[in-house]
Amino acid sequence: MPPLSLLVFDWDGTLMDSTGTIAHAIQRAFDDVGLPVPSERDARFVIGYGLAEAMAYLAPGADAAMIARIVDAYRTHYLAQDEALVLFEGVRDYLPRLRDAGYTLAVATGKSRVGLDRALTTTGLGAQFLVTRTADEAFSKPHPAMLEYIVDFADVAPAATLMIGDTTHDLQMAINAGTHSAAMSYGAHPIDDLLPLSPLAHFDRFPDLAEWLLAARA
């Protein structure tokens, strides 16, 4: 394991158990606007993209006005449920321990700034992170801009940075930015799709990731 100092977490499907809610909100949004409803697999695939990019991927050929309608419908369905979403087991307990061990923590997410700030406030986790970056502040994953900004802000080398996520978009962004990655198997994309992107390690539970990182600092 290389020396690591900066841990960059995806949010949905990595820290928060929200992938099913997101996928179902996407499906209901397409139904609302009268377009063919994407499969759950396809809806899960676009998690991590910015909202407009996600809907455009699922509705090729739709014009900007239709994409805006889908996004608005999605937000209505998602916001009706997001207060009930919970963090994955171990997230709340282990993030402070990782900080105390000397890691710098950050978030790179496909959520909007408004959506992420609401989630950080609701969960009380905002103070754990040095910097956060969202899809409306940079190019959507897997473009490296979001991650490159965080690396520069933290003044840490890419080689000392670990991108932690549950989608191929997260892992490909790490490759594009020249950082390492770790794959979480419990989120939006199946582990068989993640492993070909050569993560340093993969985990079925957040506590397993955290203990692996803590052991490296012991």
Q: Where are the domains of the chain?
A: 6-17+87-217, 19-83
- Position 85 confidence tier, pLDDT thresholds 50, 70, 90: confident
Residues with active-site annotation:
10, 12
pLDDT at residue number 91 = 97
Whether 171 has a pLDDT exceeding 90, the answer reads yes
Neighbours of 149 (CB within 10 A): 17
- pLDDT tens for residues 19-56? 889 999 999 999 999 999 999 999 999 988 889 999 99
Band (pLDDT 50/70/90 cuts) for residue 79 is confident
Q: How far apart are the C-alpha atoms of 60 and 70, rounded to whole Å?
A: 13
pLDDT (0 to 100) of residue 1: 74
Instruction: Count CA atoms closer than 13 A to 137's CA, side-chain side.
Output: 19
- Looking at per-residue pLDDT, the higher value among 81 and 110 belongs to 110
Distance CA 124, CA 211 (A): 22
Distance CA 12, CA 96 (A): 19
CB 101 within 8 A of CB 213: yes
pLDDT, residue 132, reads 98
Check: CB of residue 44 under 8 Å from CB of residue 189. Answer: yes
Average pLDDT for the chain: 95
Please give the share of the chain, as a percent, with pLDDT higher than 90: 88
The predicted model gives 138-146 an average pLDDT of 95
Report how far residue 192's alpha carbon sits from residue 109's, in angstroms, rounded to the nearest whole number.
22
What gap in Å lies between CA 25 and CA 31, rounded to an integer? Answer: 10
Find all residues with CB under 8 Å of 173, minimum gap 6, and list them.
108, 141, 142, 143, 144, 146, 147, 163, 165
Between the CA atoms of 71, 72, 74 and 79, what dihedral angle is there, to the nearest 10 degrees? 130
- CB count within 10 Å of CB 140 equals 21
For residue 164, pLDDT beyond 80: yes
Cα dist. 144→5, 56, 89, 98, 141 in Å? Answer: 19, 20, 29, 24, 7
Residue 155 phi/psi, 5° resolution?
A: 55, 50
CA-to-CA distance for 44 and 61, rounded, in angstroms? 20
Does the fold of domain 19-83 match that of domain 6-17+87-217?
no
pLDDT score for 84? 75
CATH superfamily of 6-17+87-217: HAD superfamily/HAD-like (3.40.50.1000)
Which CATH code for domain 19-83? 1.10.150
